[in-house]
Structure 1
């Protein structure tokens, strides 16, 4: 997309709220939202059009426990002095045509998609009028799409929806489908460091090296502006997997279920305040150990070299 006016905030999540791909449902949501209160939710408010007065709609479509999850997000936003927070439990496709729901989405400055099952999210919202409104607002307005866990994974045009961490570098173990397509040429995985999902992202990228793999750790996210400028936020790590320099692989030669080999894949690790230019594929480390030495010329003294002989 060109001249994108909106912002994208994708978050690695804390614990899963009901994804069938994980099989563990942690219902203690309140304890798992604590990390938002000191960082990422506050940043969402700060980046929004009217800050504490912005209209925020929390959408729980991905979750199988929407009432509990939604209530905790509303509580967390209000704790941070957000004064205009709504909650939408959209669990069926027919609800996406409800005039009141569409009116609320049209009026929102921020939509916040909770965690859960990203395939549930895309299968309910994909191709609907509600989806079209969100895409249009992101393209043309000072609007924020924020998503954690499933909400983050679904933001790109390519979406990982299934694949075990332990067997992710076996051909065919990672399942990919279409996401909500707010951002192109990336693929996003969440709970990344804690659940050992490096192999999942490797397999996703080797199948199409044009796309950049983004692995979001827990308590970690990316703020993406102008559809290309990415800043790491939160306390954890963002892993970027760049496949454009791959020299060789056995991907097409091995049978399903067999290990995949990859030669010359590039990996970057980002932490808070680091930035990455998605268009030019350049990363800058905010607190580089070499920053103070960048403008100091290298001087070699031949005499000193001779003295070492």
Structure 2
């Protein structure tokens, strides 16, 4: 099987003719010679969100753009909705709440059909919640209590297109380093990837390249020689860590997910 590319976006991407991230998605979709399906299930206002993407994708030259109207668990089991996937070469999963994606679509007939389509070459993109859902696991929520600075990170099941990765979005803009670090400390074999707004990674064949305006952070605890998690008197978790590796990448840089090493810029020998 030749899996399709995954374009994973940190949210708040530019929706204009000059926007690099959505231009890259459209380029991939057109190259695959088919239409784009928009999946707005994560959003509480799917029609409003869909209109904006329909406009920009058509402005960027895509003639066939359709919305996949999937708003319940029952919809996710409908054969007709699953068959709709066959008419697209690329799917765009919008932002919203990743828990809605997991609850309404996870392990459904639609989920299985989408996974098979991706394994057969369909391009998938997701922004914000649509980015988090790409991994086998995802951060569902992370709450900081106002009175005691207690950080609680909740992990849930994603769609499983990427195994061994935990993706966080709106990363620098919302100060999410602590929650990603806490999540990776609980399972140091997983690679944590934090993606800034208007920034994306394009994943193919075990590597990714960075596109967009800001940066991508990669957190790797696989070589850590010491991890200790203790609870303080107020119930918060305090971390003592040693040996974690941190990488930050900007536009044009690539990263090998198998060797867990930074590669040089595109066009320059690593």
Give the alignment partner of residue 71 of structure 1, picking from 45, 51, 71. 51
Who is 2:181 aligned against?
Answer: 202
Who is 2:6 aligned against?
Answer: 8
Q: Give, in whole Å, the separation in 1 of the partners of 2:106 and 2:3.
A: 22
- 2:108 corresponds to 1:131: no
Give the superposition deviation at 1:176: 0.4
Give the superposition deviation at 1:59: 0.6
Aligned residues: 266
Q: TM-score, normalised by structure 1?
A: 0.80
Q: Is the 8 A contact 1:165 1:197 kept in 2?
A: no
Q: Is the 8 A contact 1:161 1:176 kept in 2?
A: yes
Q: Is the 8 A contact 1:10 1:222 kept in 2?
A: yes
Who is 2:223 aligned against?
Answer: 245
Give the superposition deviation at 1:87: 0.8
SS of the residue corresponding to residue 68 of structure 1 reads: helix
- The CA deviation string for residues 205-224 of structure 1, in whole angstroms up to 9 with x for no partner, is 11111110000000001100
Q: Give, in whole Å, the separation in 2 of the partners of 1:216 and 1:89.
A: 28
Q: Give, in whole Å, the separation in 1 of the partners of 2:15 and 2:68.
A: 22
Give the alignment partner of residue 254 of structure 1, picking from 227, 231, 236. 231
Give the alignment partner of residue 120 of structure 1, picking from 96, 100, 106. 100
Sort the Cα spacing of 1:148 and 1:215 in 2 relative to 1 into closer, same or farther, 3 A: same
- 2:148 corresponds to 1:148: no
Q: Give, in whole Å, the separation in 2 of the partners of 1:279 and 1:221.
A: 19
Who is 2:154 aligned against?
Answer: 175
Give the superposition deviation at 1:131: 0.3
Sort the Cα spacing of 1:36 and 1:9 in 2 relative to 1 into closer, same or farther, 3 A: farther
Give the superposition deviation at 1:171: 7.2
Q: Give, in whole Å, the separation in 1 of the partners of 2:145 and 2:118.
A: 36
In angstroms, what is the RMSD of aligned CA positions? 2.3
Greater strand share, structure number: 2
> Highest CA radius of gyration, 1 or 2?
1
Sort the Cα spacing of 1:236 and 1:165 in 2 relative to 1 into closer, same or farther, 3 A: farther
Q: Is the 8 A contact 1:165 1:199 kept in 2?
A: no
Who is 1:40 aligned against?
Answer: 21
- Give unmatched runs, 5+ long, in structure 2: none
Who is 2:68 aligned against?
Answer: 88
Give the superposition deviation at 1:13: 0.2
Q: Give, in whole Å, the separation in 1 of the partners of 2:249 and 2:259.
A: 16
